[in-house]
Amino acid sequence: MDTMWRKNLLPIITSVFLFVSSLIIGKNAEDSLIRDLIIISAIAVDMKDEDEDFLVTVQAINAPSVKDSASEKLGFVLYQESGRTITEALQKIQKSFSRYLFMDDLEVILISEEIAKKRGIADVVNYLFLEQTISSNTMLFVSKETSAHDILAMFTPFHKVSSKRIVDTIENIKEYSSFAFPVFPNRVKNFLLNYPVVNNVIPYISIAGDVEVGLKKENIEAYQPKSKMEINGMSYFKKDKLIDFLSLEESKNLLFLMDNVREGSLEVSCPEGPGYFSYQYKKSKTSFKVDWTGDSPQIGIKVKTNGRIIESTCKTSFEHPNMDLFRKQIRNQLEDSITNLIHKSQAENLDYIGFAKELYISKPSKWRDIEGEWASVFPTIPFDLKADVSIQRSGDAISLD
């Protein structure tokens, strides 16, 4: 029995020894890697004055500070240089470091409103494709009414690194609010190559409050920060040039048209009397049907949602048959708001709502017949939008006098 126990004990001890050794070696290798590299988490691209050179800012992570959440040291350092190309600017930045700029973990590319409108985003996107060390999972954003540099320089609560806050915020919006979604270089490049079948939309970031205050550490030492970064929706483009920004509500409607809604809510006026109620939708499905039989194609759109009423200041109860009144209010608001966005897109003659894509998918050969005339066809193309709203049991909630 003792001999058998010794035989079984030896491989166990050997396995434990090898496991502990691998942890020690792995930890030492990781520490050595961090000592040899500067990890870049984000890049901001602005325009230098009027010469249209790139003004590039890199956000370098201060790894020891990020690991120690109690540390008061800054979680990142910013370095900025200009160049005729992004590569030239990064090479100038490299001269300030004794270690290699490691961009494999790059999470965010932030392009300023100025450069996106004046120069366009094609050069930036092409750089992302040619630079092999940058991941295809890097997210693209546009700044609004402020420089891309200032957004990265913001002191943000709960996160020592502003790029981490940006990533967490857009992921949270995608899952629970559905007015913006992450956009990656592959999608942007593909859309640029396939214009006018598709047009790019990219989430934008702005700063609410005093920008100068947000650039100081005191911003996160107050109970209520006086300055904060916000993602308020999607920006839209014509080819590679930024045109404008959609409001939060318009961005919600855009995601309905794109069939990219996961969860969100609508504030709807009461069916009778003053007040509002909140409709939280958990499921949504948008389908298109193209009719080519007439002189011009006609597009049928059906938006189907399923949710529940989670709050109400209305005097009307939820008892039968009143629920039909609430359902009608939601349907009318949804149809009106999405229709308004389509009309806005047609008035600007910018098909960021996806009509050309649906025509192409339905019959590629017929799309090619009108592709050359799309600029004159799109503003007047007829469509019919219907919303199908379901409300789950919402309880007996009713506002009291």
CA angle 252, 171, 282 (to 5 degrees): 50
Which residues does residue 305 pair with via DSSP β-bridges, in sequence order? 284, 389
User: DSSP character for 219?
Assistant: G
Predicted local distance difference test score (pLDDT) of residue 68: 47
Do residues 29 and 36 lie in contact, with contact meaning Cβ atoms separated by under 8 Å?
no
User: What is the spatial distance between Cα 219 and Cα 212, in angstroms, rounded to a whole number?
Assistant: 10
Backbone angles phi, psi at 206, to 5 degrees: -130, 170
Closest by alpha carbon to 342, among 385, 373, 374, 303?
385
User: What is the pLDDT averaged over residues 137-161?
Assistant: 90
Residue ranges and CATH numbers for the domains of the chain are: 34-245 (no CATH), 258-400 (3.30.300.210)
Q: Rounded to the nearest 10 degrees, what angle do helices 248-257 and 323-348 cross at? A: 90
What pTM does this model have? 0.87
Interatomic CA distance for residues 327 and 391, integer angstroms: 7
Strands 108-111 and 100-102 come out as unpaired
Q: How many helices (H) and strands (E) does the chain have?
A: 14, 13
Tens of pLDDT, residue by residue over 65-120, are 445 454 556 778 899 999 999 999 999 998 887 778 889 889 999 999 999 999 99
CA distance 250 to 146: 22
Residue corresponding to tokens 């948008």 = 286
* CB 284, CB 358: distance < 8 Å: no
| pLDDT bracket for residue 64 (50, 70, 90) | low
Closest CA to 196 of 359, 398, 339: 359
Residue type, 180: A
pLDDT of residue 352: 97
CB 302 within 8 A of CB 286: yes
* Structure letter (DSSP) for residue 378: G
Instruction: Find out whether 78 and 60 touch, Cβ atoms under 8 Å.
Output: yes
Q: Hey, what are 303's tokens?
A: 């938006």
User: What mean pLDDT is predicted for residues 18-38?
Assistant: 53
Local confidence band at 399 (pLDDT 50, 70, 90 cut-offs): very low
The pLDDT, as a whole number, for residue 19 is: 60
The average confidence (pLDDT) of the chain is 87
